[in-house]
Amino acid sequence: MKDKNIIFEKSNNCISSYSFNIEKNEKDILNNIPQSLLNDNLSFMPDVSEGDVARHFIRLSNRNYGVDTGFYPLGSCTMKYNPKINEKVAGNPDFANIHPYSSTERVQGVLEVLYKCREALVEITGMDEIDLSPCAGAHGELTGLYIIKAYFKNKKEERPIILVPDSAHGTNPASASVAGFKVVSVKSDADGFVDIDDLKQKVSKDVACFMLTNPNTLGLYEKNLDQIVKICHDLDIQLYYDGANLNAILGISKPGETGFDVVHLNLHKSFATPHGGGGPGAGPVGVKKHLIDFLPGENVVYKNNKYSLEKRGSLSIGKVRSFYANFSVVLKSYVYIVSLGKEGFSKLGLLALLNANYLGVLLKEYFDIATKPHIMHEFVISLQKECDETHLTVMDFAKRILDYGYHAPTVSFPLIVHSCLMVEPTETESKETLDKFAEILIKILEESKTNPDLLKNSPVNTPIKRVDDVMAARTPVLKYSKDE
């Protein structure tokens, strides 16, 4: 029997529906309902009982996959467990029901959270000031680049170029382009670090910024960071820290103390709030002293025993969003910071490194680990040899992982490693989970040699089987039509 996945397909004309008798007061009722909300034709509504509706949507929710249902080793995405106390506090009606136009007298608690979270992030990152308003990682990138642009405009300098490593996240060149810069790629050396010789050739007084992810997307901490800082700062090139992989160094190192001028954070990643599917997120941007005047339009200040929003000066780039911040995300992150405390934070990065290195050791005898010579919080597995020998694709390997109840790692990224999986276990996973995941990867590797069709036809145990990616991209079905 075909499983009817869409509620409209479950419609049954013999089922009775609710009806309200409004004849006596029909005129009064209709006069108070906007005409745009009235519809004489309800044929599009499925005729389904309340019980079937409840079962349908609960069944769909049970098919969903997230960090609460299983291991989610998505590289460079930091899919760590999100403690439920974060949600409990954020769900408090005194926070959740506050109107954005409330007077400052009525939202002192909200402003205090924003103020204290900002102060905590300043301490964690080693920056001199942080603005909480950007509402996504890429939004934080764009804000940071606008700050750099304003800095050089104020100095009456034309700097049209942004340098980006060839291992960078795609949002780096995208954000730079949106901000009006020309993007120039810096090569990686044979080990995956920034090629210093190539960097030296591409720096000049035309370069505004070098965007760097550290550790990079191979899971490597830049061994020549001091040299990179000097090369850039000698020409007043601003060094930008992409906070996507901040989880690796939390409690160990601070971007502001290693030479970076600008940093954006992904609170929804490193600071344990739910994310994915387009949101919600928060991408605070931090700067050193020489860039503070250019931060976005408003700041939470504490004066005379009172919190308030204060407009920044004339050099500010202005507001980058409506109101001030994605408050619920900031609140959850602040709860996470307070819950861990200084002692907990001092262990966070170390545990992330431990888990990644442990998993890497379990797999290195079976797979080509492209992350050399050391592993930080994530590592990259090259499947190029296996794909060449079996005529499989890296996507076949990834789809087969789904059959064993795990979310697949990041696929085919970074772009400098072909046919690869990027694995980030995070600090919240147990040894047992890592042991089991390694066992499954090794088993799939053996299947690829003995029965490659298993991988070509996977997944078979998921609610939706192998999808035609090309057809889905070229002819997407974005809404239901009863005629189809």
Q: Where are the domains of the chain?
A: 7-63, 84-340
Q: Is 147:139 a contact under the CB 8 Å cutoff?
A: no
State the DSSP string of 269-303: HHT-----TT------EEE-GGGGGGSBSEEEEEE
Residues sharing a CB contact under 8 Å with residue 297, sequence separation 6 or more, in sequence order:
133, 311, 312, 316, 317, 318, 319, 320
CATH topology of domain 84-340: Aspartate Aminotransferase; domain 2 (3.40.640)
Q: What is the pTM of this model?
A: 0.91
What kind and span of H or E run contains 145? helix 137-154
Tokens of 52: 């079937």
Looking at residue 12, its pLDDT comes to 76
Give the per-residue pLDDT at 151.
Answer: 98
Angle at 43 between CA 37 and CA 45, to 5 degrees: 70
pLDDT value, residue 121: 98
Question: Residues, the chain, total?
Answer: 484
The beta-strand segments (E) located in 55-148 are: 129-131
Report the alpha-carbon distance of residue 145 to residue 326 in Å, rounded: 20
Reduce the secondary structure of 336-364 to three states and give it as a string: HHHHHHHHHHHHHHHHHHHHHHHHHHHHC
Q: What is the pLDDT of residue 1?
A: 38
Q: Which residues of the chain have pLDDT under 70?
A: 1-4, 14-25, 42-43, 277-279, 482-484
pLDDT the model gives residue 30: 73
